[in-house]
Amino acid sequence: MNTLTFLNQPLLWGLALAGIPLLIHLLYRRQYRRVEWAPMRYLKLSIQRNRRRIRLEQILLLLVRTCLVLLLFLIVARPVMHAAGLSHLWGGDVRANRIVLLDDSLSMGYAVQGKPALARAQSVLADLLGTFGKKDRLTLVLASRPSHPLLREVEIEDAGKVIEVVQKVAACEASDAWQAILPALDTLIQGGSYPLHEVSLITDLRATSWDLPLAEIGDRWSSQQVRLRVIDVGPADTSNVALVNLRQIDRLALVDTPTRLEAEIHNASAGELGELDANLFVDGQATLVRVPGIAANQSLRVPLVVTFTEPGPHHLEFRLPDDALAGDNRRHVLVQVQQTVDMVLVDGEPATEPLGGATDFLALALTLAGTTTEPFRVEVLSDTEWASSSRGQPDLIVLANVPQLNVDQAATLERWVTDGTGLVVFVGDQIDPDNYNQLLYQDGAGLLGASLLGITDGEFTGLLVEDREDSPLEAVGQLSPAALNRIKVRQIYEVKLPPEEVEGVHVLARWNNASSAPAVVQKALGRGQTLLWTVAADRSWSDWPTDASYVLAMRESARAIARSTASLRQFTCGQVLMADLPERRDITLPTITAPGDEEQQPLVIVEDAGSPATSDKQGVAEPVRKLKYNETWRSGLYTMQWRDSLSGNTKQEFAVNPERRESELVKLDADEFPARWGSLEPEVVSLDTAATAGLSLQGVEIWRTLATCLLGLLVFEACFARWCGRQR
């Protein structure tokens, strides 16, 4: 690479004018005819003594005037000084550690005139190699794998082999994790072989990736005299349409029942986006979806409905037409379809007569269809039977007028809810509020979203459902006010909400009385939810169980909070995939199939430290065996397979999607970026992405320095010419 280049190179022809002062000097040199004159003999002796000094002054004046012309045309030619090139002139034998980080994130796939930013980065890296000394040590790091360099302190003797490695780098769909990248680079610096370090980051400099503190690491690198260069290869003007989300709306997906999903599309362009023809793939079968127009810089949520006829996992992919950034135009979701929902109703006041128990109306509402295809499989237990039962974890459990719980029951409920089981609590005459507050509310840290105070008498009518997105009572809120006003209530349980707003605690509905008392309080805990109803589940406190709206409220709320696997196997590119293996079984032939790969890759079984839940009878935690895979650089469906000694061939699937922030292509202000590094002064080089060939590194323009020299030289020339022209 050249040490000095010029942005206006044709103007260098003007340097020929630097010969004008020399030409004038030669023209004024005339041959005089010698005339001997007696008095000149003494003058000649004087001149001979000063001739050497005068000649030197004239030569210096000639050089100054020539330099003035040279500087003038160098300034208008806009010279660019490359510091990397000068380092070889000033210290040719000085060895340094050259650490180059190549950004291979999703946003680097944004293409201008068909050439993605990653391809431009690869060309820049090839140019950058020419600025390194042959005895320098090169470390090449990818942003997706900062702790595992592609090359580690190799000597740059054969740049062709290094370029070959660089050209094999393919864009991944992971996000820039600079909070992990910079510490990894710092580790490489601390372990470098040479005391001199230069770090070059070749990236598209997107604003969302750099929202982190840099001053601490910048000060440390500055004290170690680390030179940092950031080479920006990303275009400033972008226009992108991104599929930023695809999610399952319904918590449960049941066989032969419509399941709602939602796709979110963002138009990050300056103009309105017309209608699009997207495709929804369900287990590989495509269905055309017409997407309406989207205004500039706006998002659109597209509702999707799919009915599954078979239980088990189903792979869904939503795909938009490709644009300049094709990597964010498709997303995947894995829907676990269930045949039935396992529900346990704990009746604190069972009765022998029909509809006399605390859970009879609730059980009737949940099993109203009365057919063998009914998805809700309901088991009714008395509180005594439940206390002595050893059954497994249900999808939903309901406590209706249960007098009190013991410590073990409360701990079991908390573990189940944290793991995803839904819990519904109905009050009644028998419950002990102190017991519930102590074991289930726990001063706001327990399962309940409010503490119990006492029973309040007073007749009123009406239920007011709060307008809240993704509420379990959303379907009830769509009923007409007249239908909800028919609900007659005689008694409710007064509750006390936390004094301050608590994350995950919401009032979903209120009674239509003078105090607008809470009717149902929701609390999210772990992967599960709890609903606290302040009315009894039977007719003892209200006539609501005999109304049609009761059936709708119970069925929809149960479906909304029952245990679900909707988000269990949804991952982001770069995350680690894990599958728990059953204990005391022989596991053989573990493999994984990644998107786009036809061949299976072998996996290694690893052991993690056990938890109290996996303790043996002596209380010693048993290790948990897992399958792990961390090379999730592409979006799509990953399938782990293994052979179990008991159940035979087993597989587990994972849906992996890009990080949505990679679709945000707003550029970081290059002028503000250096100020974030504390005392370190990084060099930020922005490339002209409109160029299609010959990308090269830019340096620092030095015309201001040359202009200062020109001004100083003009002052010197005027003074020196006057001094040379003095009387001798």
* Tens digits of residue pLDDT in 378-419: 999 998 888 887 778 899 999 999 999 999 999 999 999 998
**How many domains does the structure of the chain reveal?**
5
Query: Same domain, yes or no, for 397 and 531?
Result: yes
Task: Give the model's pLDDT for residue 447.
Answer: 93
**Span 453-480, average pLDDT:** 90
pLDDT category at 9 given cuts 50, 70, 90 is low
CB 211 within 8 A of CB 205: no
CB 498 within 8 A of CB 391: no
User: What is the per-residue pLDDT across 327-356, written as a single tens digit (0 to 9) for each?
Assistant: 899 999 999 898 888 999 999 988 888 888
Of 500, 530, 561, which marks where a domain is finished? Answer: 561
Is the model's pLDDT at 619 over the cut of 70?
A: no
Is the model's pLDDT at 693 over the cut of 60?
A: no
Is the model's pLDDT at 443 over the cut of 50?
A: yes
| Strand ordering across the sheet containing 258-268 | 240-248, 258-268, 298-307
Query: Same domain, yes or no, for 62 and 138?
Result: no
Give the integer Cα–Cα distance in Å for 294 and 661: 19
Would you call 288 exposed, middle or buried from its count of C-beta atoms within 10 A (0-12, 13-18, 19+)?
exposed
CATH at residue 644: 2.60.40.10
Query: Same domain, yes or no, for 360 and 486?
Result: yes
**What domain range includes position 495?**
341-561
What pTM did the predictor assign?
Answer: 0.75
Task: Give the model's pLDDT for residue 428.
Answer: 93
Give the integer Cα–Cα distance in Å for 176 and 101: 12
CATH at residue 694: 3.40.50.410
DSSP per position, 289-326: EEEPPB-TTEEEEEEEEEE-SS-EEEEEEEEPPP-SSG
Domain membership of residue 335 (yes or no) is no
Determine how many CB atoms are found less than 10 A away from the CB of residue 25. 15
Task: Give the model's pLDDT for residue 674.
Answer: 85
User: What is the per-residue pLDDT across 512-550, written as a single tens digit (0 to 9) for each?
Assistant: 998 999 999 999 998 899 999 999 999 999 999 999 899
Domain membership of residue 122 (yes or no) is yes
pLDDT category at 90 given cuts 50, 70, 90 is very low
**Span 20-45, average pLDDT:** 59
**Span 590-618, average pLDDT:** 74
Domain membership of residue 88 (yes or no) is no
Identify the sign of the CA torsion 308, 309, 311, 316: negative
Query: Same domain, yes or no, for 296 and 432?
Result: no
Is the model's pLDDT at 202 over the cut of 50?
A: yes
Rama region for 389: left / alpha / beta (φ>0; ψ in -120 to 50; rest)? beta
Mean pLDDT of the chain: 83
pLDDT category at 505 given cuts 50, 70, 90 is very high
Taking the C-alpha atoms of 201, 206, 210 and 215 in order, what is their torsion angle to the nearest 10 degrees?
60
User: What is the per-residue pLDDT across 256-302, written as a single tens digit (0 to 9) for each?
Assistant: 889 999 999 999 988 899 899 999 999 999 999 999 999 999 999 99
Is the model's pLDDT at 503 over the cut of 60?
A: yes
Query: Same domain, yes or no, for 99 and 44?
Result: no
Tell me the three state secondary structure of residue 262. Answer: strand
- Specify the higher pLDDT residue, 624 or 319: 319
Query: Same domain, yes or no, for 185 and 108?
Result: yes
Domain membership of residue 333 (yes or no) is no
User: What is the per-residue pLDDT across 63-75, written as a single tens digit (0 to 9) for each?
Assistant: 888 887 887 877 7
Domain membership of residue 336 (yes or no) is no
Query: Same domain, yes or no, for 293 and 435?
Result: no
Domain membership of residue 328 (yes or no) is no
Is the model's pLDDT at 489 over the cut of 90?
A: yes
